[in-house]
Amino acid sequence: ALLDLSGVHQVTGTWMGSTTLPCTYNPSEDFKQQTLSWRVEKDDSISTVFQRDDSGDHVFLSQFRGRVSVPKHSPGDASLLIENLEIPDSGHYTCRVIWRSENNSLITRELSTMVKVVKVAATKPIIRTGELGLTVPVGARTSLTCVASGSPPISYRWFRGTPGGKTQLLSSQAELVWTSLQPSDAGMYYCEAENR
């Protein structure tokens, strides 16, 4: 249908992640978008989060500055992107679009989405063990890759030696690469994975 907003009733986002609240319509030559706004309702108060009009884009709430945006160059897309989600961002969001028709009458449509921000249980990195004991010919190119599961971001470090003993830091990447192996490269290597 013409000028009907479509979206979803509920969105669940992860704390510190980002989420998009969909709000789209089919643009028409006969109707020009005048204003587009997003409001949030929580604890019985309604505040405007974002507004786009002839004077540009405005973010009214300081806690959303630098974290919310609406696509600029895709007509018909009024979706709100919220980044670095905080727990207090949870609430009832309403997308409101006002169009002006050729005979200068105004048409308003609204669409509401419930946003729930959840904390995901933080987990320690667990390294997936690779094969132990690798035999590679001299002069060959080879690499060791460290893969860990757990809460991102995960940083990796490769050492030569044995944990707790005398070690040498070789790389701060997940992959340790040799372009041409030498007999002196034989030895014990281990990886360390770390997150917050």
Q: State the pLDDT at residue 63.
A: 92
Whole-number average pLDDT of the chain? 91
User: What digits encode the pLDDT tens for the residues 71-107?
Assistant: 998 899 999 999 999 999 999 999 999 999 989 999 9
Q: State the pLDDT at residue 110.
A: 96
**Same domain, residue pair 9 and 96:** yes
Can you give the CATH number for the domain in which 147 is found? 2.60.40.10
**Same domain, residue pair 34 and 108:** yes
SS3 6: strand
User: Phi and psi for 64 in degrees, rounded to 5?
Assistant: -105, -5
**Same domain, residue pair 110 and 138:** no
**Same domain, residue pair 112 and 131:** no
**Count: domains in the chain:** 2
pLDDT band for 1, please (50, 70, 90 cuts). low
**Same domain, residue pair 106 and 9:** yes
**Same domain, residue pair 108 and 131:** no
For 55, residues 6+ apart whose C-beta sits below 8 A from its C-beta are: none
- Choosing from 118, 138, 164, the residue where a domain stops is 118
Tokens matching residue 6: 């479509």
Q: State the pLDDT at residue 19.
A: 95
What is the C-alpha to C-alpha distance for residues 176 and 134, in angstroms, rounded to an integer?
A: 14
Question: What percent of the chain shows pLDDT beyond 90?
Answer: 70
Measured CA to CA in angstroms, residue 80 lies from 111, 112, 123, 144 at distances of 12, 12, 30, 42
Q: State the pLDDT at residue 5.
A: 95
**Same domain, residue pair 135 and 172:** yes
**Same domain, residue pair 34 and 96:** yes
User: What digits encode the pLDDT tens for the residues 100-158?
Assistant: 998 999 999 999 999 999 987 778 888 887 777 888 899 999 999 998 888 778 899 99
Element (H, E) at 176: strand 175-178
- Choosing from 118, 150, 180, the residue where a domain stops is 118
Question: What is the domain range of residue 24?
Answer: 5-118
What is the C-alpha to C-alpha distance for residues 78 and 37, in angstroms, rounded to an integer?
A: 9
Tell me which amino acid residue 107 is.
I
